[in-house]
Chains A and B, each alone.
Chain A
Amino acid sequence: MSMDFSGTVSKGRKRKRGRSWTLLVPIYIFTLLFVFLPLIYMVYLSFMTKAEVWGFENRFTLENYKKILDPLYLRTFLNSLKLALISTLVNTAVGYPYGYFMAKLEKKKRDIMLLLVMIPFWTSELIRLNGWIIVFRSKGVLNLILEKAGLIDKPLKLLYNYQMVVFGMIYALLPFMILCVYSSVEKMDWKLVEAARDLGGNAAQAFLTVTLPMTMPGLLSGVVLTFIPSMGLFFVADLLGGNKIVLVGNVIQQQLTKGRNLPFAAALSVVLMILTSLFIAAYRRITKTDQLEGLI
């Protein structure tokens, strides 16, 4: 590149090339200050010693990590992982066919379905969970119906158990999966499927060799967008699990608000982050997709 700064005529051009980097200043500063450094700080904190009341002392320790190996916390991690896996699997099983069928509807019906998916998608998860609480609480709608039907004589305890948390999590995150799958099925070139059928494949073979690989990016983003939040949405466990169901998210929250143990919360976060990254990396390896796709 020529580096002549003398000529007056070259001003306009130099200005264009020379100033582009300034556009990057805000995002670099923000990312450095509020993403990169905080993550480093989190790792640093996780090796520090808890102070008496609140905060920490600059004393290196592995205590926080050792504490995670305590069966109590280990079980929490396993519980959360199990929950996230179940919720992701069920969401895939329910959401994939939903998005797929939806994309194959005729335009008018498809628009209506899209609208019907959009409304819960854009509605706060809290509000949607509130509806389920009305249904499932001991004096709730479901118990009322069952009682009226004479199937039970005393209200069932439906809320505040693991199953209910799993159900709530699946429900909260299903629209993400549906929309991701839908957008990649909708974009698909159906001629390829026809070609596969034409070459002698049956419907199942055509699906497995053409449709599934082609919609993999959508499925990947769906999995990422359901798996990651389900590891951390503590309020679902809080509202539907009462105090009985404790997930990593709840432990971190409690450590910060009640336990006042910042270093331990940091260590838990580090482990949680490693777990989710490993999961996503593994999933990418298996499905060989790299793109995330389809949010709106």
Chain B
Amino acid sequence: MKSKSRLPGIYLAVVTAISYVPIAVTIIYSFNHSKISSVWEGFSLEWYERLFSDADIFVSLRNSLILSVLVCAVSAVIGTLGALGVKRTNFRLNKVMAYFSSVPIMIPEIILGMVYLALFSFMNLPFGIVTLVIAHASFCIPYIYMMVSGRLFAMDPSIEEAARDLGASPFEVFRDITFPAILPGLLSGLLLSFAMSFDDVVISIFVTGPGFNTLPLKIYTRMKTGVTPEINALATLMILATTILILLSWKLNKTGDKAEEEK
């Protein structure tokens, strides 16, 4: 059916345009010579130069990358094993556990921040990378668990049985059948976890320790202290990186779709 109205198109265009204003402005002003004024005072790479000589930013970028990778690894293992375990056992407690494990994504982040601050001081854990990994894993595990679990329960159980029947050991069944089936879910979960962990401010601010700054925390403190054009430069680079990553995963999905369409 063809809708003759042009209204939907206009609506989409307007809302999209508005949502891109801050992104466009950030990119444009990262090249503006002027520090304070919004007046265009000529093209300049000054803020990029300043950014690249800012060792602080690089340290926090490295910290953030390490943190997100660790969080992804921990969450992938715990979440995937958990989903497999729940599928294969029928303990009554599983439902309760699944409910509680999803609580961190069902409550405002600030509560998690508060709770972990209290808990880690009570446990006498040194604030830093360890506390950050635990706190971030708490909201990444449920995503991975849900996505893997969704795949597992959508899977036809007779496919695993067929593999067993044809002579596969439990390990071979996992390698050849189960893992390929859950992989797309695991990857989406990992992508989301990485982004959530990499961008997190609210929880990190409470559980980080002296000497371990993440990139968003660094950006946040700089933004609070005033006008900082090098943040524009950094933001531009981050938007660029995000766009490239999205396009890449898009391409990968596309080739997958193509293979499927060639019937």
Contacts and interface: CB of A to CB of B under 8 A. Distances in A.
B224 A28 contact: no
Contact of A101 (B11, B137, B205, B239): B11
Interface in A23-38: 23-24, 26-28, 30-31, 34-38
Contacts of B36: 139
Contact of A130 (B82, B113, B223): B223
Contact of A27 (B26, B82, B232): B82
Nearest to B78: A26
B23 A123 contact: yes
A278 to B, nearest CB: 12
Contact of A276 (B29, B107, B134, B195): B107
Interface of A: 12, 15-16, 20-24, 26-28, 30-31, 34-39, 41-42, 45, 55, 94, 97-98, 101-102, 104-105, 113, 115-120, 122-135, 137, 139-141, 143-144, 171, 174-175, 190, 224, 228-229, 231-235, 238-239, 248-249, 252-253, 256, 262, 265-266, 269, 272-273, 276-277, 280, 295-296
Interface of B: 1, 3, 8-9, 11-12, 15-16, 19-26, 29, 36-39, 77-79, 81-82, 84-86, 88-89, 91, 94, 97, 100-101, 103-104, 106-111, 113-119, 121-122, 134, 137-138, 141, 143, 145, 169-170, 188, 191-192, 195, 198-199, 201-202, 205-206, 216, 219-220, 223-224, 227, 231-232, 235, 238-239, 242-243, 245-247, 250
- 10 tightest A-B CB contacts, nearest first: A131-B22, A232-B108, A27-B82, A23-B85, A24-B85, A232-B110, A101-B8, A20-B88, A127-B235, A124-B199
20 contacts: A23-B82, A24-B97, A27-B141, A27-B145, A35-B103, A35-B104, A42-B114, A97-B8, A119-B246, A124-B198, A124-B216, A130-B231, A131-B21, A131-B24, A139-B38, A253-B110, A269-B111, A273-B111, A296-B188, A296-B191
